[in-house]
Amino acid sequence: MLALNAIDLSVPPGSIVALVGPNGAGKTSLIRCCLGFERPTAGRVLVGSVDPQADRKSVVAMLGYVSQSTGLYRGLSVNDHLELAYSLRPGFDRQAAKGRLDQFGIPLRQRVGTLSGGQQAQVALAIALGTHAQVLLLDEPLAALDPLARNDFLNVLHDEVRARGATAMLSSHIVSDIVEVCDRIVVLAGGRIMLDDRIDAALNSHRLVAQDAPGQSTIAAVVRPGGERRWLIRSTDVALAQPTLDELVMGYFAASRDEIRQTEVAA
Amino acid sequence: MLRSALLTFRMHRFEVLLVAVLLTLTAVSALVARSHVAAANPSNECWSQNWSGGSTLECQASVANFWGAADEASFVASPLAVSLPFIVGLLLGVPIVGRELELRTAGLAWSLTGRRWRWLLARFVPMLILGGGGLLIVALLVADMARVAHPWNYLGPGRIPDLTEIGSEGMPLAARGLMTLGIGLLLGAVAGRTLPAFAIGTIACFALLFLGVPFLQGRVGEGVAVWRDQTDDRPALYVPGISDAGYRAPDGTILSFAQAQALAAGQPCPPDETSPDPGMGKAVTGAPVADCSGQWLAANGYAAVTRVAPIESYPTFENAEIFATSTIGLVCILLTFPIVSRRRPA
């Protein structure tokens, strides 16, 4: 069983990419490959033009990372985390990180274990941004956050990345949250890339129709709230309804699921 | 460096606190015991009389009082000192990498630096200094306490060492701590979980203590053992596996007990000049009815000998254990670096 299979993905510098996929799609594996935490069994990953397996030191120096679990030390204070980052990463900007945390009223002397989930996510983001990394990898950092905390997190991320001209890849399965800050979307399902496009272009090139008809470039059936069934197709026909980003993503998830079922039946 | 050490201690505050308490408790009990024993120490004259016999009642009471104090002294400090290197080593070694992997904090740390060896050094060195330094101090204090508690032996001033005491004091104790720290570090990195690493580490330590140490002492004993006349009452070291008995022939050759018995079998009993009846021990037919091989061997210059490790060889055993345990510890520590470098954080 491969976590990722036949992936061919290039992230343009300066973009914020939404990496979307159901649980087990391979989002975390892809991000971990970029960090050098996982070694691909075939093919290669390049960050900038450097292979993390060949030169992890250079790659890690380019990257800032926030994991879903945040990876923070529950027994250490917020300030200890900044000291830790400073001791491990040359050039870590403690003042900038402290300023960012001050904005959210997060006490530096407080133990991380006693902070709320949203505050912990802000600490993890402050550390990642304090590295001034040119590439930020964020692995489902929003999963456990309430809407307000999600909004705060995404605002800080968006402003920082845009101000610095950095590149970010943000994985999530909550599509509606990330659409505001991302300019590209990559749909990953079953270890394969189902869609890789600019968000506006992806929406413009798909339509929802009431019936599946021969000759249509059908992706999959999408069941809308209330049980209404529609078909997601590739089309630019302005007379047809354009899907929402949620419907677009659900259509590709469904397509992946259908492919897997067909493969299982064939086997 | 100091900041990094403080961070490491804060990360593992429970283990650090527990180790500090244990080290302090052992050190203080060794110091207190030493002062009690030193206060109860009889005069040299008294000791001399005690071993040569004919001591006064006052002296006997004084010596008895001293032995009581010495026994009490060793009751707390010595058992603590024997188990301390294993407890300290595992408590400090296992969580360094094991807990970081278990609690998924390694991912954050390793995303901040590509040089994981530097991260490992920053986490390991403070623990080594705390554990190694603390154990060394305790080891020296316990050694001093033991020296004070054994001021005389039956041959004169000083203490007759015993191989079972190796590892309970002095450098071997500190070296065992280094070994256990290395084992704990390695197991934590391999298992990525603290509890299994503790369990396996404990089993490994018991195996090394109860199988490895006797094996090592046996090997060293083979190298240093000498044949000594059974009449020689100089103290010797009991070494598991090397004890043997036999006979030394007049030409210096060592015969096993069976070889000597075979040689003496059938030989007539030598006349017993102390017996009023020189013919005693023989049947009327002239056949021997008693086993006279021992007498025959003695009469013909064969001396009963025992294979022992001389007391002077004690430092050899001590150095061998220091070398072996330190080497195991260092190898484990060095092996941890490539493992951490290749390890996938959870």
SS (H, E, C) B321-332: HHHHHHHHHHHH
Taking the C-alpha atoms of residue B176 and residue B165, their distance in angstroms, rounded to an integer, is: 13
Residue A140 and residue A222 share a domain = no
pLDDT at B197: 97
Is A95 part of any domain? yes
pLDDT at A87: 93
pLDDT at B274: 55
pLDDT at A267: 67
Q: Where are the beta strands (DSSP E) in B114-237?
A: 152-153, 156-157, 226-229, 236-237
Instruction: Judge whether A120 is closer than 8 Å to chain B, CB to CB.
Output: no
Residue A182 and residue A209 share a domain = no
Is A150 part of any domain? yes
The tokens describing A252, both together, are: 């590709």
Strand-pair partners of A156: none
Residue A171 and residue A85 share a domain = yes
Nearest chain A residue to B14, by CA: A75
Residue A69 and residue A119 share a domain = yes
Selection from A208, A214, A255, A215 nearest residue A229 by Cα: A208
H helices within A110-182, ranges in order? 117-130, 147-164, 175-178
For A188, how many CA atoms within 13 A lie in the half-sphere containing its CB?
29
Taking the C-alpha atoms of residue A256 and residue A188, their distance in angstroms, rounded to an integer, is: 9
Show residues of chain B in contact with A126, CB under 8 Å. Answer: none
Strand-pair partners of B178: none
Is the confidence at residue B28, as pLDDT, over 90? Answer: yes
Mean pLDDT, chain B, whole residue set: 87
Nearest chain A residue to B346, by CA: A37
Nearest CB neighbour to A67, from listed B3, B107, B122: B107
Selection from A132, A135, A189, A142 nearest residue A16 by Cα: A135
Instruction: Judge whether B214 is closer than 8 Å to chain A, CB to CB.
Output: no
Residue A153 and residue A262 share a domain = no
Residue A252 and residue A156 share a domain = no
Nearest CB neighbour to B115, from listed A57, A72, A83: A57
Instruction: Judge whether B344 is closer than 8 Å to chain A, CB to CB.
Output: yes
Is the confidence at residue B299, as pLDDT, over 70? Answer: yes
Put simply, the answer to whether A75 touches B10 (Cβ < 8 Å) is yes
CATH code at position A35: 3.40.50.300
H helices within chain A, ranges in order? 27-35, 56-62, 78-88, 94-103, 117-130, 147-164, 175-178, 199-204, 245-266
Q: Name the one residue in this structure whose structure tokens are 């079922």.
A: A261
Is A147 part of any domain? yes
Instruction: Judge whether B15 is closer than 8 Å to chain A, CB to CB.
Output: no
User: Cβ contacts of residue B229 below 8 Å, gap of 6+?
Assistant: B248, B303, B304, B305, B306
Put simply, the answer to whether A37 touches B107 (Cβ < 8 Å) is yes
* Number of domains observed in the structure of chain A: 2
Taking the C-alpha atoms of residue B116 and residue B120, their distance in angstroms, rounded to an integer, is: 6
Min Cα–Cα distance to chain B from A136, Å: 11
Output B8 or B284, whichever has higher pLDDT: B8
Nearest CB neighbour to B11, from listed A61, A67, A75: A75
pLDDT at B25: 92
Expressed as residue numbers, the domain containing A250 is 205-266
Question: What is the Rg, in whole angstroms, of the alpha carbon atoms belonging to chain B?
Answer: 28
From A145, A161, A189, the end of a domain falls on: A189
Query: DSSP letter at A241?
Result: B
Nearest chain A residue to B110, by CA: A60
Q: Name the one residue in this structure whose structure tokens are 């994991």.
A: A67
Selection from B133, B135, B20 nearest residue B85 by Cα: B135
The edge-to-edge listing of strands for the beta sheet with A229-234 is: A206-209, A229-234, A218-223
Put simply, the answer to whether B105 touches A71 (Cβ < 8 Å) is yes
Other Cβ atoms within 10 Å of B87 Cβ, number: 18
Q: What is the mean pLDDT of residues B310-331?
A: 94
Residue A151 and residue A259 share a domain = no
Residue A216 and residue A115 share a domain = no
Is the confidence at residue B287, as pLDDT, over 60? Answer: no
Here the contacts of B232-237 (C-beta below 8 Å, separation 24 or greater) are B234/B155, B234/B310, B234/B311, B235/B153, B235/B155, B235/B160, B235/B311, B236/B308, B236/B309, B236/B310, B236/B311, B237/B161, B237/B162, B237/B163, B237/B308, B237/B309, B237/B310, B237/B311, B237/B313, B237/B314, B237/B317
Nearest CB neighbour to A87, from listed B108, B122, B345: B122
pLDDT at B273: 57
Nearest CB neighbour to B7, from listed A58, A60, A80: A80
Min Cα–Cα distance to chain A from B324, Å: 35
The tokens describing A95, both together, are: 């003042």
Nearest chain B residue to A88, by CA: B113
Residue A217 and residue A120 share a domain = no
- Angle at which helix A147-164 crosses helix A117-130, to 10 degrees, equals 10
Taking the C-alpha atoms of residue B63 and residue B67, their distance in angstroms, rounded to an integer, is: 6
Residue A87 and residue A135 share a domain = yes
> Chain centroid to CA B138: how far?
16
Show residues of chain B in contact with A37, CB under 8 Å. Answer: 107, 110, 344-345
The tokens describing B165, both together, are: 């005491």
Selected residue of A35, A41, A79, A88 to mutate for chain B interface (largest B Cβ count, 10 A): A88
CB burial of B37-74 (b: ≥16 within 10 Å; e: otherwise) equals bbebbbeeebbebbeeeebeeebeebbeebeebbeebb
Is A210 part of any domain? yes
Selected residue of A55, A80, A84 to mutate for chain B interface (largest B Cβ count, 10 A): A84
Is the confidence at residue B288, as pLDDT, over 50? Answer: no
* pLDDT tens digits in sequence order for chain A, 267 residues long: 677 777 888 899 999 999 998 888 888 999 999 999 988 888 888 998 899 989 999 999 999 999 888 889 999 999 999 999 999 998 899 999 999 999 889 999 999 999 998 899 999 999 999 999 999 999 988 887 888 888 888 898 899 899 989 999 999 877 877 777 899 999 998 888 889 999 999 999 999 998 877 777 888 888 877 788 889 999 998 888 899 888 899 898 888 877 767 776 776
User: Cβ contacts of residue B3 below 8 Å, gap of 6+?
Assistant: A83, A87
